[in-house]
Chain A
Amino acid sequence: MTRALAHKLLQLLPVLVLVTVATTALVDLMPGSPGRAILGPDASPEAVAALDAQHGFDDPLPQRYLSWLGHALTGDLGSSVSNRQPVTDLIGERLPVTFEIALLALLLSVAVAVPLALWVAARPGGLADRVVSALTSATLSIPSFAVALVLAYLLAVNTHVFPVSGWVPFEDSPADNLRHVALPVFSLALAEIPIFVRILRGDLLTVLRQDFILTARTKGFSTPHVLLRHALRPASPSLVTLAGLAAGRLIGGTVIIESLFALPGLGNLATQAIYGKDLPVIQGVVLVVALSYVAVNALVDLLNSAIDPRTRTA
């Protein structure tokens, strides 16, 4: 098991290298020098040259990458070009926000989708199934930022049930923190739930046609018992994989939601860094997102082999 996991992580190593090399290479894609891009057309050539030299922007790519890698391995991701703060500090501030929102959105999606899929799969073609199927097709085509706008309008601007925007750290006030994350989390979850319901419903229906389900029914078990104890687990690998993909997406790409609700998350940091041409910060964010993908990927593998013993032989 641990060997399989190590093997998997080793397979993902090239992905990490590729992604970080590509971000390092961004410098070469910029018109003019990064120093000029950052300081603007009015800066003196001396100032531009000094900035380029300070951050090593004019070194050749291999040297730049190795130097970045060497520092990164010791936990030093450089410092922001615009405000000189260490990149690790900047990310450290933003990561908990993004992680909290991503995790809660994922948990909410699974918590809603699994019972819903079980319920409709118990009677395919029944009223519940048709209603849920209509609802999922409708919500599938709505982007989460549109949902966010409507929710914000109805529940924050109009009725003040939730704050319109902003952030309170969990340590300061758990209740306020949850009130602030509620709308972003709902908006994000609403985009995932229809996909989760569809995939799990389909897999459940496939599993429910199998002989071992008939065996369970002839053993005199109720429909809920058969669904929960016999059908759910063999039906869940695709859902787990999909949830993993969603987790990666949520960690790396909640940019729109974060800016809509003015949340100080990773997406927000990335947006600022891109506007400010803050290369060390961009590179740090990309690294963290890539690492999250790798971690989620390994977790998905672990979960799926825990679900299905037949995949455990390796």
Chain B
Amino acid sequence: MAALADTAVVGASAPPGEPLLRVSGLTVDIPTPRGPLRALDDVSFELAPHRTLGLVGESGSGKSMLVRTIMGISPARSTVTGSVRFDGVELTSLPRRAARSYWGRRIAMVFQDPTTSLNPVLTVGRQLTEATRAHLGLGRARATERAVELLDLVSIPEPRRRLRQYPHELSGGMRQRVTIAMALACDPDLLIADEATTALDVTVQKQILDLIAGIQRERGLALILVSHDLGVVAGRTDDIAVLYGGRVAERASTRVLFAGHRHPYSQALLAAVPRLDRPAGAAPRTIPGTPPDLVLAPPGCRFAPRCPSAEDDCHRAAPAPRPGADPTHAYACLHPIPTTKAERR
């Protein structure tokens, strides 16, 4: 893998103490026929090099919107405000041409469904070599060698034969390995996996997650693991951010989030995770109610209509983030779960 490392880092390095990725006040509005839809509202978080962040929340909570905005692929007519700083450089205001030397080269992404995220009319080899040829200036032969190394890295047998195949000739798990190999092609510093295993069956799911974890350890990547299922990211992340209705409900180290969460929505998500330590017959509880309508969002806390702890003031204004157990912990709730109660769980 030495060959993959020597072309790794391009561009400036962040000043010491600066996180690899700092998202602050990120807000995305999308015009819809019913009116503007606020898909993200004042989202902030940080990610240090080599660390793993879990991004969780029910379907529709804005996880994909968040990571796509970081990748510069927010919907065509959306308005993005706030800041995405990567390695000390502001990505949202960077000219497209300059920003392209970050996306694909230093930040890469794996999508949810490998049956649709690979181009059906191009060979695996073509899709694996185009980035290294375009961005790193490799010749055809060198790029092909590199593609073979990448397929090796993601444990695909007979890599040379795979290069000549088309996506539809591979199984779902194999295809997702190919998209991961593709994402790693230019040796990024940050890998984003948006529900990368949701479309796969359970055994393959674990294999892919283990593969990503192994590569992260070996290559020292920072990683954002996105999932609607807290159970999938548990045990694989350093920190977790919980999204609800396009806002960060709570963020904390994984340990604190499980043991000392304060937000009722985090509580509800945790209760929805199937757990082995629960007595038999105690099925995971789904969260009653439906996610908020983001076009006609009520002014107060977006979780209020479904929240068991909601009181009158919750409906008035969006709760500001409050500091929690340690400097990395924050939650946006007016009537948080008492610490002792959360720790008892």
Contacts and interface: CB of A to CB of B under 8 A. Distances in A.
Interface in A299-314: 307-310
Nearest to A236: B121
A214 B117 CA distance: 8
Among all A-B residue pairs, the 8 with the closest Cβ atoms: A220-B104, A219-B104, A211-B116, A220-B100, A309-B166, A212-B119, A211-B117, A220-B103
Interface in A226-255: 229-230, 233-234
Contacts of A219: 103-104, 108, 130-131, 182
A234 B166 contact: no
Contact of A309 (B72, B100, B168): B168
Contacts, number: 75
Interface of A: 210-212, 214-222, 225, 229-230, 233-234, 307-310
Contact of B120 (A216, A218, A225, A309): A309
Contacts of A308: 120-121
B121 A215 contact: no
Task: Determine chain A's interface SS by DSSP, over half rule.
Answer: helix
B103 A214 contact: no
A218 B71 CA distance: 6
A310 B165 CA distance: 11
A173 to B, nearest CB: 43
Contact of B121 (A214, A217, A225, A233): A233
B5 interface: no
A216 B119 contact: yes
Contact of A221 (B100, B116, B120, B122): B100
A214 B111 contact: yes
B89 to A, nearest CB: 14
A222 to B, nearest CB: 7
A218 B109 CA distance: 7
11 contacts: A211-B116, A212-B116, A218-B71, A218-B108, A220-B100, A220-B101, A220-B103, A220-B134, A221-B100, A221-B130, A229-B130
B121 A221 contact: no
A222 B120 contact: no
Given A230-B119, A234-B120, A234-B121, A218 B104 contact: yes
B68 interface: yes
B158 to A, nearest CB: 19
Given A214-B68, A218-B104, A310 B118 contact: no
Interface residues of B, number: 31
Interface of B: 68, 71-73, 96-97, 100-105, 108-109, 111, 113, 116-122, 130-131, 134-135, 166, 168, 179, 182
A225 B134 contact: yes
Contacts of B68: 214
Nearest to B100: A220
B120 A212 contact: yes
A104 to B, nearest CB: 29
A217 B96 CA distance: 11
A234 B168 CA distance: 14
Given A214-B111, A218-B71, A310 B100 contact: no
A195 to B, nearest CB: 23
A186 to B, nearest CB: 33
Contacts of B120: 212, 234, 308-310
Contacts of B116: 210-212
Contact of B117 (A215, A307, A309): A215
A216 B122 CA distance: 12
A214 B131 CA distance: 14
Contacts of A214: 68, 73, 111, 117
Contacts of A230: 119, 122
Contacts of B122: 229-230, 233
Nearest to A223: B96
Contacts of B121: 233-234, 307-309
A310 B71 CA distance: 30
A212 B71 CA distance: 14
From A210, A212, A220, name the one whose CB has the most chain B CB atoms within 10 angstroms. A220
Contacts of A222: 96-97, 100
Contacts of B108: 218-219
A220 B166 CA distance: 22
A81 to B, nearest CB: 52
Nearest to A306: B121
A165 B268 CA distance: 82
B111 A215 contact: yes
Nearest to B166: A309
Nearest to B102: A220
A98 to B, nearest CB: 34
A298 B122 CA distance: 23
Contacts of B113: 211
A234 B39 CA distance: 31
Nearest to B68: A214
A217 B68 CA distance: 11
A211 B111 contact: yes
Given A212-B116, A310-B120, 8 more contacts: A210-B116, A215-B109, A215-B111, A215-B179, A217-B73, A220-B134, A307-B121, A309-B168
Contacts of A221: 100, 104, 130, 134
B28 to A, nearest CB: 16
A268 B300 CA distance: 78
A218 B97 CA distance: 13
Contacts of A309: 120-121, 166, 168
Contact of A218 (B73, B118, B119): B73
From A221, A225, A307, name the one whose CB has the most chain B CB atoms within 10 angstroms. A221
Contacts of A216: 119
A243 B168 CA distance: 28
A92 B134 CA distance: 50
Contacts of B118: 212, 215
From A230, A233, A309, name the one whose CB has the most chain B CB atoms within 10 angstroms. A309
B121 to A, nearest CB: 5
A73 B152 CA distance: 59
Nearest to A307: B121
